[in-house]
Chains A and B, each alone.
Chain A
Amino acid sequence: MSGLRVLAGPELTSGAESFADHTQRLGTPQSTGRALVETLVRSGLTGRGGASFPVGLKWRSVIAAKGSPVVIANGAEGEPQSHKDRLLMTTRPHLVLDGAFIAARTVHARQVVLYIGEEHKAGWSAMARALDERPEGERRIARIVGAPHRYVAGDSSAAVHLIDGGVATPTTTPPSTHERGLDGAPTLVQNVETLAHIALIARYGDAWYGSAGRRGAAGTVLITMAGGVNHPGVLEVEAGTTVEEAVAMAGGVTEPTSAVLIGGYFGAWVQAAKAWELPLDIASLQARGLSLGCGVVGLLPAARCGVCDTSRIMGYLATESSAQCGPCFFGLRALSDACSRIAERGANRDDLARLKKWAIEVPGRGACKHPDGAVMFLRSALSTFADEFAVHPAHWRQQPA
């Protein structure tokens, strides 16, 4: 399988594209500087690490900030079900590097840090080899730093904290990393998929970017199809492609589906009947109170239990709290415990009431967005699986994902 744009080119199974092949296929990117920033603003490109922040606006504020900026390419990919970043680093490392160095030239950065998940071994070595192939002027300013295998290590402030101080825990915002990051310098943190799109937009422009996309959406997105589909894995689809179309591209469903998790563990469950027609596009999803997050689309087969799966994921997210902020550490633990009591011992009104109360109180009260993401996920479960939560039997079907 090959993709439309960032995954276009040689077969993905043949591994990393070399610098020579990459340059021959795509040429050298032309646009940098002010003009590129405005092109990015016009393209409407948003970040693909989860928060969907507009890229052009972030670049503008990094340029406006005082100090000599730093660029961090975020290849931590801590989301357990997501595979798109590691696939991209493994197969198209030079697209990611192009994006990182274009960013560095544009914001006048003196340093580029490639922040790569320690467990993504193939992605790491492909990126390391690719960096060795780059011109000396680029190699000199770039280095690779490993992201520990923890969910919150991918947060931009945790990345800065690790690179600066050796601990991958988030720090208090404000200031955001693009105001004050590495060594206090304005720091542009950009997801590796975002950088790959930037590498192409710098070559072909915003009109080209918008020439892909369905139902009014612009560009392409990498998504990871997970759960009950015949061919789970990464797809590059036009933005605005519906869940149903993406499922068909992934070989269709393996069995009847009860719900779809859109956006990964910081995303939301949607009843299958309502999910099929959803366009995979940031603006359309946001208009429905959803998010594309890191692009995971996970199908829950009807034979599985949404309450038990939710409980398992809440347990994971509670464990992944960096335990620095009381409302996150105690709140997520308490939410997870209430979920697993319902899953193991059966529905009970007290725990359901507690879940609903804490789901209102906990978000917005951490240094980073970890509790917000976890609670958004939980709330979606409480509404999508409302009937199941109300009458859940004491079965605790703890199958792995």
Chain B
Amino acid sequence: MKTEMQLTIDRIKCDGHGLCAELLPERIRVDDWGYPIIAPGPIPEHLAQHAQRAVAACPTLALALARIARSK
């Protein structure tokens, strides 16, 4: 089965340091209060490592990378 990677954020854990947006600016930007906005859609293969690094760097363990079955 084909799978794809998606970033998820536990919004209660996230405290808006914005570290993830610095490490993965291609997919994450911050809103006017410093909280991340994730671009819709799966993480392309070539960004997988960067995404993993952002997940590892998140100080509150709010950011996660989930492998999910491809919708179509």
Contact = CB atoms under 8 A, between A and B. Distances in A.
B14 interface: yes
Interface in B1-36: 9-16, 31-35
Most chain A C-beta atoms within 10 Å of own C-beta, residue among B10, B15, B34, B35: B35
Given A326-B15, A326-B16, A172 B32 contact: no
A277 interface: no
Contact of B11 (A334, A358, A361, A365): A365
Contacts of A324: 11-12
A326 B34 contact: yes
Contacts of B9: 365
Contacts of B16: 326
B33 A327 contact: yes
B37 interface: yes
Contacts of A365: 9, 11, 35, 37
Contacts of A325: 11-12, 14
B35 A172 contact: no
Per DSSP, chain B at the interface is: loop
Given A334-B32, A361-B31, A365-B37, A327 B12 contact: no
Contacts of B12: 171-172, 324-325, 367
A186 interface: no
Contacts of A172: 10-13
Interface string B31-47: 11111010000000000
A279 interface: no
A366 interface: yes
Nearest to B15: A326
A172 B8 CA distance: 11
A120 B24 CA distance: 49
A327 B31 contact: yes
A331 interface: yes
Contacts of B35: 326-327, 330, 365
Contacts of A330: 32-33, 35
Interface of B: 9-16, 31-35, 37
Given A327-B35, A331-B33, A334-B33, 16 more contacts: A172-B13, A324-B11, A325-B11, A326-B15, A326-B34, A326-B35, A327-B31, A327-B33, A328-B11, A330-B32, A330-B35, A331-B31, A361-B31, A362-B31, A365-B11, A365-B37
Q: Top 4 nearest A-B pairs by Cβ distance?
A: A325-B11, A330-B33, A326-B35, A324-B12
